[in-house]
Amino acid sequence: MADGVKEQESIPVSKVQRAAKFISTGAKVGGNYVKHYAKKMVNPSLDKEELHQSNAQDIYSSLSELKGSALKVAQMMSMDKNLLPRAYQDKFTMAQYSAPPLSYPLVVKTFQRFFAKTPEQLFDTFSRAAVNAASIGQVHQATLEGKYLAVKIQYPGVADSVSSDLKLVRPFALRLLNMNEKELDHYMEEVEERLLEETDYLLEVRRSREISKACASIPNLVFPKYYSEFSSERIITMDWIFGKHIKEWMETKPSQGLRNQVGQALWDFYHFQVHELKQVHADPHPGNFIIQEDGRLGIIDFGCVKVIPEDFYQGYFALIKKELGMDEEELDRVFYALDFISDKDSPAEKSYFKQVFREMISLLGKPFHVDTFDFSDDSYFEQIFQLGDRISNDKMFKKSRQARGSRHGLYINRTYFGLYNLLNQLQAEVTTTKPDWLK
C-alpha cells in the first residue's frame, strides 16, 4: 500500500452507480488474482501476502467511497464502530455466494452423498431449478405425499472459506475502521463464530425446532415443520410456507388492523426470544419472513441465532429503562461492563462518550418508553439517521482508536435495528411489551 489511498473525487450517488462501484471492485480483485497467478507461474515461491494487500487496497478504496451511504447507518445503529461486520456479512460473504446457482448435477451429487439417493428418488417431485436463493445456498421446491416442501441446499466449500474470507478483508477493515488489531479481532471472532454456525445446517434444524416449539403459544405466528430424515449437514428440508414477503404484501394494501396484527406478532416473537429464551433469531432480514393469506406471519431461516449472555442482558436492557434511575456511579459501571468506555480513555473522552451513548440509548429506547409505539413515524427514523450522521462525523469519534461496545452488542443491535426497520416497512403500531423488571 505504499502508494497510499487515492483521493476520493466524488461519492457515487445513485443505486446504479453504487452497484457499478462494487462490480468494478470485483473486477479489480479478480484482476489481482490473475496477476498473482501469472506472477506465481514465473516465481512459484511468491506468497499470497501481496495478493491480499492489493485486494484489500482495492476493496478499501471502493468502500471508503461508499461510506456516505448504507454503511454509516449500520455503523451508527450498532452504537460503535462496528460497521465492519455488517459490511462484511452483506458485501463479502452473502453477496459472494449468492452469485451463480448450483447446477442440478451438483444438487444431485449432494443428495447422493448424504442420502445415497437422488432427489427424485426421495420426493415425488423436485424442481430442477432453484426457486430462491438463500444466503449461502439455494432453495428448491419439492412435493411428497401431497405436501409442499422447501429444500435448502448449501453451496460447497462455504463453511471452509469463511475463515479465509475474513482474513482476506482484515487488512482493509483495519484501515477503514481505524482500529488496532486486537480490538478488531474482538469483533471478528464474534462474526466468525456466527458465520460458521450459519453453515452448520444440523445446528440450524435443532435450533429452529427449539425456538419454534418455545414460541408456539405466540398468536399469529407460523413455523414450518422440519424433517430430519431429509436434512443433513448441507441440506435442510422443511414445510413450504405460502405467502408474500413484506414488500409484496404491502402492495396489496392491507388494512391498518392487519398490519398491526403482523407487527405485533413480530414484536411478540422478538420479545419472547430476548427476554425469555435469551437467544434470538438475529437476522431480521425481510426475506426471512412470509405473510400468509390469513395475516399470520411465517418465520423461516434460523441460520443466525445469537445466545445472549446473562450479564450482558442485564446491563444492556437496564440502559433502556425510561428513567435510568441510577446514579452516575452505577451508570459508569454499566458502561464499563458493556465496553462503551474503558480505562484507556481520557476523562474528556469518557464524558464525551457517556453523553453520546446516553443520547443514542434514549433515542433507540424510545419504543420501550411508551405503551404503544407507532413505527410508521418516519420522523423517528429520520432522527436516528441524523444522530448517526452527526456522531460518525464527529472528530472525537473518528479519533478514538478504541473498539466500543461489547461484542455481544453487535448482533443484538443488528437485531433491533432490523426489527424496527421491518415494523417501519409494515407501517405498524404495536404494543411494546417489556419484561416486568423494565417497567
Partner 1 sequence: METAPAKKTTKKDQRKLILEGFKNHVLEHGTEPASIFKFAQSLKLKEADFYTYFTSFKSIKSAIWTAIFEDTLADLHSQEVFAGYSAREKFLGFLFTWIEELKKSRSYLLVLYGDKGRAFRELPTDTKEFKKAFLEFSEEILAEGKESEEIASRPYVTEKYGEALWLQVMFVFGFWVDDKSPRFEKTDAAVEKSVNLAFDLMGKSALDTFLDFAKFLYQNK
User: x/- string (CB under 8 A) for partner 1, residues 194-233?
Assistant: ----------------------------------------
**What minimum distance in Å lies between the beta carbon of 425 and partner 1?**
35
Based on the shown chain and the rule CB under 8 A, indicate whether residue 40 belongs to the binding site for partner 1: no
Cα angle 257-262-266, degrees, rounded to a multiple of 5: 140
C-beta of 152 vs 414, nearer to partner 1:
152
Least CB distance to partner 1 at residue 204 (A): 18
Judge residue 417's burial from the number of C-beta atoms within 10 Å of its C-beta, 0-12 exposed, 13-18 middle, 19 or more buried.
Answer: buried
Residue 47 within binding range of partner 1, rule CB under 8 A:
no
CB-CB neighbours of 263 under 10 Å: 26
Identity of the residue, 11 or 131, whose beta carbon is nearer to partner 1 in the bound complex: 131
Decide if residue 109 touches partner 1 (CB under 8 A): yes
Provide, rounded to whole angstroms, the least separation between the CB of residue 156 and partner 1: 4
108 sits near partner 1 (criterion: CB under 8 A): yes
CB atoms within 10 A of CB 135: 25
CA torsion sign, 111 to 117 to 120 to 123? negative
- Give the Cα separation of 166 and 179 in Å (integer): 16
> Which parts of 142-161 interact with partner 1 (CB under 8 A)?
155-157, 160
Q: Which is nearer to partner 1, 232 or 432 (CB)?
A: 232
Single residue of 4, 105, 219, 257 touching partner 1 by CB under 8 A: 105
Q: Which is nearer to partner 1, 61 or 161 (CB)?
A: 161
CB of 173 to partner 1, least distance (A): 25
Residue 134 parent element (H or E): strand 132-134
CB of 268 closer than 8 Å to CB of 218:
yes
Binding part of the chain for partner 1, among 108-116, 132-140, 264-272, 388-396 by CB under 8 A, reads 108-116
Q: Which of 6, 113, 225, 399 is the binder for partner 1 (CB under 8 A)? A: 113
The smaller minimum CB distance to partner 1, of residues 104 and 227, is found at: 104
CA distance 109 to 106: 5
Nearest-approach distance from CB 118 to partner 1, in angstroms? 7
Closest CA to 86 of 69, 74, 99, 97: 74
Residue with Cβ nearer partner 1 (106 or 131): 106
Distance CA 146, CA 303 (A): 27
Residues 114-143 that bind partner 1 (CB under 8 A): 118, 120
Q: Which stretch binds partner 1 (CB under 8 A): 63-71, 100-108, 177-185, 212-220?
A: 100-108
Q: Which one among 22, 92, 104, 227 touches partner 1, defined by CB under 8 A?
A: 104
Residues 6+ apart with CB under 8 A from 369: 322
Min CB(37)–partner 1 separation in Å: 13
Q: How long a stretch of residues is the chain?
A: 439
Q: Count Cα neighbours of 31 within 13 Å in the Cβ-side half-sphere.
A: 11
Enumerate helices (H) and strands (E) in the chain, giving the number of each.
18, 12
Beta strands in 240-345 (DSSP E): 279-281, 289-291, 297-299, 305-307
CA distances from 27 to 35, 54, 55, 185, 313 (A): 12, 13, 11, 28, 43
Interface with partner 1, residue 41, by CB under 8 A? no
Query: Cα torsion at 311, 349, 369, 334 (round to 10°)?
Result: 20
Of residues 119 and 254, the one with the C-beta less far from partner 1: 119
Question: Of 101 and 287, which has the nearer Cβ to partner 1?
Answer: 101
- The answer to whether the CB of 119 falls within 8 A of the CB of 111 is yes
Choose, by CB under 8 A, the member of 5, 23, 106, 396 that binds partner 1: 106
Judged by CB under 8 A, how many residues of this single chain contact partner 1?
A: 15
CB of 38 to partner 1, least distance (A): 17
Instruction: Compose the 160-199 pattern: x for residues touching partner 1 by CB under 8 A, - for all others.
Output: x---------------------------------------
Give the residues lining the site for partner 1 (CB under 8 A): 100, 102-106, 108-109, 113, 118, 120, 155-157, 160
